[in-house]
Amino acid sequence: MNILITGCFGFIGFNFLKEISENYKSDFNISGIDLLDNSYSNLNFELMESNKNYKFYAENIVNINQVNFESTKFDLIINFAAESHVDTSIYNPNVFIDSNILGVNNLLKFCLKNKIKNFIQISTDEVYGSTKDYYFEEIDILNPSSPYSASKASADMLCNAFAKTYGLNIKTIRPANNYGPFQQPEKLIPFSISNIIENNQVEIYGDGTNVRHWLYVKDTVSGILKVIEKGKDGEIYNIGSGTYFNNNEIAKKLLSKFDLTEQSIKYVQDRPGHDFKYAVNFDKLTSLGWKPKYEFETALDETTSWYLENQKWWSAGIEKVRKNRELRFNKN
């Protein structure tokens, strides 16, 4: 199968690229495209320079129709490319419109132009909005809260429209809150680990009671592969683990790994429009024969060890990450 992976040097996209290029060589002929617009994507690119099991194209997905793919006929495009940090979407929503909506529109038009029938959109559980006790199913109405989640919901609606209007076979995947190796340190777990290593306090928004559905990135990758293998045409699939912790609990778990107490937690002003809880029902995916493999504590240990062993990687842009966090209150 000839497959094009967009956003192949982002967090989930890179984990997916590594897995299939190393362990599924006979199943996929791989091409990747990425804008390489941040230090972490560039570092991931450098890590793959010696890997000969894929072709790479440096470009923005908005410009997908200008890329010369050397007459490769793709059987499947899987779209990981996205702006994904909620804080950034608050002070700069335009880049999310460009990448997450216009970019997806252009990818879908590229499929039509080149007669590529199969497309997988990697979405997010955040499109459903916040909940307290309900577990969102794939048929539920979308109710996004941030410019980020609104842009992803818009992309999902575009996919739905292109499937109905043009007959494209589009599968949409909505993973829960991912964590694991190669996650940019703007996110809670890697940002907290970086602060602990550098003897800073762990910063928690608000009162820390916001709850997330935690999913190890390697389980996300296996779930995506299961959808490629057995997913039905035109369907949406949630991916989850059934593991829920609030931000206080995550902070305490990380601190305990370094023999630190909750006295090392620093509470900071909350993010505007901060959703209380995300939760999805993922029975539809388990009905295909998939289930999460990793226990949270084991996966968190692996993640912590990876950041300890790869300080050069995450420290490359950490000061910029810290400065950008403060911009979440700039809504002009």
Catalytic pick among 40, 148, 179, 278: 148
Q: Is 46 a catalytic residue?
A: no
Q: Is 302 a catalytic residue?
A: no
Distance, in Å, from the CA atom of 163 to the CA atom of 32, rounded to the nearest integer, reads: 23
Distances 180 to 158, 214, 217 between C-alpha atoms, Å: 30, 10, 6
Q: Is 125 a catalytic residue?
A: yes
Spell out the SS3 assignment of 46-98. Answer: HHCCCCCCEEEEECCHHHHHHCCCCCCCCCEEEECCCCCCHHHHHHCCHHHHH
Catalytic pick among 83, 126, 219, 275: 126
Distance, in Å, from the CA atom of 59 to the CA atom of 37, rounded to the nearest integer, reads: 10
Catalytic pick among 87, 125, 156, 186: 125
Distances 88 to 67, 149, 219, 311, 330 between C-alpha atoms, Å: 28, 12, 27, 24, 10
Spell out the SS3 assignment of 165-195. Answer: HHCCEEEEEEECEEECCCCCCCCHHHHHHHH
* Residues with catalytic function: 125-126, 148
